[in-house]
Amino acid sequence: MLDIRFVRENPEAVKENLRKKFQTAKLPMVDEAIALDSAKRAAESEANELRASRNALSKKVGMLMGQAKKDPSKLAEAEEVKAQVKANAARLAQLEETEDKLSQQLTQIMMSIPQMIDPSVPIGPDDSCNVELQRFGEPVVPDFEIPYHTDIMERFDGIDMDAAGRVSGNGFYYLMGDIARLHSAVTAYARDFMIGKGFTYCIPPFMIRGNVVTGVMSFAEMDAMMYKIEGEDLYLIGTSEHSMIGKFIDQILPEDKLPQTLTSYSPCFRKEKGAHGIEERGVYRIHQFEKQEMIVVCKPQESMDWYEKMWRYSVELFRSLDIPVRQLECCSGDLADLKVKSCDIEAWSPRQKKYFEVCSCSNLGDAQARRLKIRVKGEDGKMYLPHTLNNTVVAPPRMLIAFLENNLQADGSVLIPAALQPYMGGCQRIVPKH
């Protein structure tokens, strides 16, 4: 969410940002926000004048009533002043109601106007305009056929989607045996990998309140992703970054405690609205999965350095598991409203002969901090808003797809890279049961 002062002083820049994000339908919101802000400030100014007048008039009433004991003619003047105080009180109540109404309307609009994107972001309407920046590792297509990922898992008796369908419906799965163990090994390895980078390990709440949800994401994302607990002000998290950033809601952080660097494990729950193509069946898009995440809360001037570090951590981790990846810069139209800059790390799929998203690294500037009222007290005593960033470490359903395809051997076995072997009891390969 932008600072209303910035919008007031830079309306054309905000409108140009909307055009770059191909959200021209929101252009009238800028002028509407400025008009609401002007009306709100006028109401606040008049209300403050009335409050000051009320104090002065109340003192005058007291003085006149005291004088009326000796001079009855002062009583009529006191009653006139009382009537004025009463009229002012009625007007003040009206103004306070107007202020509250205008404030709510303004907040609603301001939460719909997207964050200003970084000048380096490529301009384009949708993900077809995202730009490949660089590749890491050589993408290989083996000389044997690679089955669909659920078919690979079934050879290990490692997945049961039919039973999950009977128990929970579509979009769920049972992982079994070696595949389940591989899933846990990957998350444990990712946890220790991030701890080794100096991040603090965290297991956060898996449900968050509505004010945290609206603090960390746009209304469109909220509608598309979040499951609400019926009858309660609680939502199941779609990603642990939401509750980790929410940890700092309404807090004033000492500057010497920055940066805050956390890595978390959690289950994640998503509606995953809409139809998806055949390549996104199986465990590619599901309603429940587990994830290792990283977040950073830092000084504004350090956020782009952290952005660079964070996406490179993803590359390093995937390459340590013998998975080729590439960095894909997200264009303006593909950025969620709160994001300043974002890139995807995509893993190579030798079966599809193309890359697919496995990590998303985002710099959100001060958007989440402003919505959640997270502040930093500088050494000079002044308050400012920190920047927040997040990135996937691993989300095993998609990670498992990439891992199995890239480590599958012609005999159907799957090699376990050296980095992961300690988490698999020293196992160097897993062998299919049939």
pLDDT tens, residue by residue, 281-291: 677 778 888 99
Q: How confident is the model at residue 54 (pLDDT cuts 50, 70, 90)?
A: low
pLDDT tens digits, one per residue of 216-270? 987 777 777 889 999 999 999 998 899 999 999 999 999 999 999 999 999 999 8
Q: Which amino acid is at 151?
A: D
Mean pLDDT, all residues of the chain? 90
Average pLDDT over residues 395-416: 94
Tokens of 112: 């719909």
Name which of 433, 193, 425, 199 is nearest 321 in CA terms.
193
Average pLDDT over residues 174-195: 96
Q: State how far the Cα of 39 lies from the Cα of 41, in Å rounded to an integer.
A: 6
Place of tokens 């303006």: 332
Place of tokens 């105080």: 85
Full-prediction pTM beyond 0.85?
Answer: yes
Average pLDDT over residues 48-67: 66
Q: How confident is the model at residue 80 (pLDDT cuts 50, 70, 90)?
A: low
Q: Give SS3 for 19.
A: helix
Q: State how far the Cα of 204 lies from the Cα of 302, in Å rounded to an integer.
A: 25
Task: Look at the chain and count its residues.
Answer: 434
Average pLDDT over residues 287-315: 96
- CB-facing half-sphere around the CA of 290: CA atoms within 13 A: 18
Name which of 100, 101, 98 is nearest 90 in CA terms.
98
Tokens of 370: 């402003």
Residue 86 or residue 188, greater confidence: 188
Helix boundaries (H) for 303-358: 303-320
The C-alpha R_g of the chain, in whole angstroms, comes to 28
What are the backbone angles phi and psi of residue 3, rounded to the nearest 5°?
A: -75, 130
- CB-facing half-sphere around the CA of 223: CA atoms within 13 A: 4
**Which pLDDT belongs to residue 19?**
97
Name which of 409, 203, 402 is nearest 317 in CA terms.
402
Average pLDDT over residues 102-122: 95
Say whether pLDDT at 409 is over 60: yes
Cβ-proximal residues to 267 (8 Å cutoff; 6+ apart), any chain: 206, 288, 289, 290, 291
pLDDT tens digits, one per residue of 147-172? 999 999 999 999 999 999 999 988 89
Q: How confident is the model at residue 416 (pLDDT cuts 50, 70, 90)?
A: very high
Residue 301 or residue 83, greater confidence: 301
Say whether pLDDT at 274 is over 80: no
**Which pLDDT belongs to residue 275?**
46
Using CA atoms, how far residue 122 sits from 2, 12, 43, 307, 334, in Å, is: 21, 20, 42, 17, 10
**Which pLDDT belongs to residue 77?**
62
Name which of 256, 298, 308 is nearest 385 in CA terms.
298
Cβ-proximal residues to 374 (8 Å cutoff; 6+ apart), any chain: 248, 249, 250, 251, 253, 297, 368, 385, 386, 388
Identify the structural domains of the chain with CATH numbers, from first to last.
4-110 (1.10.287.40), 127-430 (3.30.930.10)
What are the backbone angles phi and psi of residue 184, rounded to the nearest 5°?
A: -65, -35
Q: State how far the Cα of 64 lies from the Cα of 76, in Å rounded to an integer.
A: 9
pLDDT tens digits, one per residue of 317-374? 999 999 999 999 999 999 999 999 999 999 999 999 999 999 999 999 999 999 999 9
Say whether pLDDT at 50 is over 90: no
CB 213 within 8 A of CB 241: no
**Which pLDDT belongs to residue 92?**
83
What are the backbone angles phi and psi of residue 18, rounded to the nearest 5°?
A: -65, -40
